């Protein structure tokens, strides 16, 4: 039954486009926010009047909000999975992301069973803590995969920038009075080399986005390297444009 439910969920998610999957996640988030408001009201009612009925209302609302949170996380995972499928990431990375998403969807299914078994306030606290742990785990998986996809894209763009630099340099070498053009191309090349060093550093950081460890810190570290890559590549592209202008206006 659990496996059938999981297969249905995966099938349903794969039928969505990335935009639709994101919309489904936003709707699930809204439902969780509403459920959370109802849970807080139930707690206020119980604080004002501690009857067994109000106590049961708190437990029932807690179960609803925990279930809604699981729906939200599941929708978010489906969106991230679809986003990866729609991207130009390499096939092996897409498979890895798909496997991680499936692994986390199984955890969500297990947690749904735990929520259904909640009978007391102590059970609510226990399941909540379990969910927080699972959420950190799935965030770690998604962050590591996202970083790997960003490194791939960064390398692709650095390769293209280097290819254009070589083509412009080949043309410039055939021109007389090419000193200014070659100087600009030298700057572009050094920026591309810097970008490649930063991409490698980012890749090392993203590989350390694991548990146990400091996945959030390592993920932020990788992002910081890639932001510098963006600066380097923009500087290189600016030099390529100036070289291009000098070449086409060359007499």
**Nearest residue to 209 (alpha-carbon basis) of 137, 144, 133:** 144
Residue whose tokens read 């960003």? 150
**Nearest residue to 206 (alpha-carbon basis) of 157, 152, 156, 158:** 152
Under rule CB under 8 A, residue 199 binds another protein: no
Under rule CB under 8 A, residue 128 binds another protein: no
Please tell me what DSSP assigns to residue 16. Answer: S
Under rule CB under 8 A, residue 219 binds another protein: yes
> Segment contacting another protein (CB under 8 A): 44-52, 93-101, 120-128, 149-157?
149-157
For 22: left if phi > 0, alpha if psi spans -120 to 50, otherwise beta; the answer is: alpha
Instruction: Give 27-55 as a DSSP string.
Output: HHHHHHHHHHHHHHHHHHHHHH---HHHH
Two structure tokens written together for 174: 């055939």
Residue among 84, 142, 149, 188 that touches another protein (CB under 8 A):
142
Contacts of another protein in 150-169 (CB under 8 A) = 150, 153-154, 157, 160-161, 164, 167-168
Residue among 12, 37, 44, 234 that touches another protein (CB under 8 A):
234
Under rule CB under 8 A, residue 230 binds another protein: yes
For 212: left if phi > 0, alpha if psi spans -120 to 50, otherwise beta; the answer is: beta
Please tell me what DSSP assigns to residue 177. Answer: S
Residue among 18, 171, 190, 200 that touches another protein (CB under 8 A):
171
CB nearer another protein, residue 16 or residue 29? 29
Contacts of another protein in 38-77 (CB under 8 A) = 76
In whole angstroms, give the CA distance from residue 72 to residue 118: 20
Give me the 73-112 binding string for another protein, x by CB under 8 A, dash otherwise: ---x------------------------------------
CB nearer another protein, residue 109 or residue 153? 153
Q: Do 184 and 236 form a contact (C-beta atoms < 8 A)?
A: no
Q: Which residues bind another protein (CB under 8 A)?
A: 76, 139, 142-143, 146, 150, 153-154, 157, 160-161, 164, 167-168, 170-171, 175, 216, 219-220, 222-223, 226-227, 229-230, 233-234, 237, 240-241, 244, 247-248, 250
């Amino acid at each position: 039954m659990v496996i059938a439910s999981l297969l249905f969920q995966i099938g349903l998610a794969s039928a969505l486009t990335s935009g639709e999957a994101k919309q489904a996640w936003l709707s699930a988030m809204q439902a969780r926010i509403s459920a959370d408001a109802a849970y807080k009201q139930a707690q206020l009612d119980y604080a004002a009047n501690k009857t067994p009925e109000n106590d049961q209302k708190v437990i029932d609302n807690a179960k609803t909000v925990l279930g809604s949170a699981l729906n939200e996380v599941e929708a978010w995972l489906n969106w991230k999975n679809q986003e990866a499928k729609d991207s130009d990431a390499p096939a092996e990375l897409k498979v890895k992301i798909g496997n991680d998403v499936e692994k986390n969807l199984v955890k969500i299914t297990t947690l749904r069973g735990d929520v259904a078994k909640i009978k007391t306030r102590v059970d609510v606290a226990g399941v909540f803590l379990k969910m927080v742990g699972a959420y950190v785990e799935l965030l770690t998986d998604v962050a590591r995969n996202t970083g790997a996809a960003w490194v791939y894209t960064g390398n692709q763009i650095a390769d293209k920038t280097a290819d254009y630099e070589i083509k412009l340099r080949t043309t410039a070498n055939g021109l007389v009075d090419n000193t200014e053009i070659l100087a600009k191309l030298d700057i572009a090349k050094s920026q591309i080399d810097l970008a490649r060093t930063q991409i490698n550093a980012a890749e090392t950081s993203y590989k350390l986005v694991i548990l146990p460890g400091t996945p959030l810190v390592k993920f932020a570290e990788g992002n910081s390297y890639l932001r510098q890559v963006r600066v380097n590549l923009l500087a290189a592209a600016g030099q390529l444009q100036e070289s291009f202008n000098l070449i086409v206006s060359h007499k």
